[in-house]
Each structure stands twice: as C-alpha cells, then as structure tokens.
Amino acid sequence: MTRQKRFFVVVPVFVLALGAAGSAFAGEDRFRFDLESGLAFNGYNNVRIPGDTGTLFSLTRDLTAKSGLFFRLRLDWRLSRRSTLSALFAPLTLKAGGTAAGPLIFQDRVFPAGAPLEGSYTFNSYRLTYRYEFIRNERWTVGAGFTAKIRDAAIRLDSGSVHSEKTNAGFVPLLNLRAEYRGPGLWGFLFEADALAAPQGRAEDILAAVLVRLGPRITLKAGYRIVEGGADNAVVYNFALIHYAVVGLLIDF
C-alpha cells in the first residue's frame, strides 16, 4: 500500500475515533472540507547532495524552473466548541531543465559539463493538527496548536542515460496558528501558519487569503501562500522557497 493510500485510510479512521470522543455541542457545523488549488512557482531551490561533498547548484538559477498546478485537501473535525483536529494532504512536484555549466556531483553520479539536465523536485506533505481556539465569537476565530508532519521528498536529476535521485521521508513537529475574521457583509480574512526552526533546519508554511461568503456553508478563498525551509547536514543540503497563487473553497457541514 502506498503512503498516499495509507494516509487516506488511517487518518480518517483516527479522526473519526477522536471526534467520537469529543464533547457534544449544538447549533454548529462539525466538519469543514478545505479544497485548495492554483499555481506554484519557485523562489529559490538550492541543492548539494551529499551535503558535505556534492556540488552546490540551484534548480532556479543554474536551471530554468517551471511553475506547476497544485492541489491540497484538508478535513477539519470540530471536537468541541474550541478544539479542532485536521488532516491535510498536500502533494507537490515541480520541474526544471537546462545545461550543466560545470561538472556536477549529485548523489552517486557525476554529470559532465555541458550535459543537458532535467530536474524534478517533489515535496509531499501529510499533516495532522490539533488546535485550541482561545478566541471564538461572531467575528473572530483565533487559535494555536501543534502539527505532526510527515514529509515525503525527492530530488532527481536526469541526463540521457544518467540519472540519480535522493529521497527523504521523515517526521517534522510544527507549531500551528490560525486566525479567521468574518466581516458583517460577505467579506472576511484568513491567516494560517505551520512553522518551526531548529539547528537542523526550518520549515514554514504561511497563507494569507481573502474570504468571500458564497452561501451559508460555502466560502471562497483567494490569496498567497509561501512554503520555505530545508536542512543542512552531511547527507543533504537543500533550502527551497515556493510561492503559491491560491484559490479554494471552504465547505462547512
């Protein structure tokens, strides 16, 4: 079973189990489905693999990086009036192409100068978040919590018959912050972030979006998201900044 299939099987069961244990409350929707899509494009993406002996190169400066469509799926479960549990599936793959300016050591291969290169950067994210809302009224919902993130990443280079790929999967703990404002009319504002920094590296995922209420339970969102971070160690050096032009729907039920 693939990671994606395990995610869609295990996480909903876990969310349902915790939700059933949550305290009941009346008059409010228990679930929110958050569908997000748009265009993702590179800010910078610097790579050296192995981290202490490979060649430092950039997927955005040394190669021509390509933008790409993306999508994200999130399910929120309101456990109580102030507690929420959410599961996120956020896949991403971006491509780049060009020519090696000089000899390039990547993973277990040497790519000669002048070789045509095709690069691929994959960063799939699976997250489970618990958040407590310390402000919750007619206009404002503001909360903070913790996110357990599983990253499933890969960087690949191809040049004719020569190719090499570095994969990396691991657990990353993050702090979560979310603030939503609902105006008296149809308009509102949303800010949300998962972020944490440590000596081994850092990770930030931040969204600022305008909300437009389309109906009692359907809201349009449009805004800007950045995902930034990376790691610096003997195995891998990689720091990337990805920009997202975002449009999506929030559906409460």
Query: Does an H or E element contain 3, and which?
Result: helix 3-21
Q: pLDDT category, 108, cuts 50, 70, 90?
A: confident
173-182 b/e (C-beta count within 10 Å ≥ 16 → b) = ebebebbbeb
Spans of all domains in the chain: 3-252
CATH match of 3-252 with 2.40.128.90? yes
29-88 pLDDT, tens per residue? 899 999 999 999 999 999 999 999 999 999 999 999 999 999 999 999 999 999 999 999
Q: What is the pLDDT of residue 237?
A: 96
Name the residue type at position 57.
F
Write the CB contacts of 244 (distance below 8 Å, at least 6 apart in sequence). 38, 39, 40, 70, 224, 225, 226, 227
Contact 40, 70 (CB under 8 A): yes
Q: What is the mean pLDDT of residues 246-253?
A: 97
Q: How far apart are CA 17 and CA 142, in angstroms?
A: 25
Write the CB contacts of 214 (distance below 8 Å, at least 6 apart in sequence). 220
Q: How far apart are CA 43 and CA 225, in angstroms?
A: 12
| DSSP 8-state code for residue 112 | P
Distance of CA 38 to the CA centre of its chain: 13
Q: How far apart are CA 37 and CA 82, in angstroms?
A: 28
213-228 pLDDT, tens per residue? 999 999 999 999 999 9
Evaluate if residue 231 carries a pLDDT over 90.
Answer: yes
Enter the pTM of the model.
0.88
Q: What is the mean pLDDT of residues 76-104?
A: 96
List of E strands, the chain = 31-48, 57-58, 64-65, 68-78, 83-90, 93-99, 104-106, 109-111, 116-136, 140-159, 162-182, 187-198, 201-213, 218-232, 237-252
DSSP-derived pairing of the beta strands 187-198 and 162-182: antiparallel
6 vs 211, more confident: 211
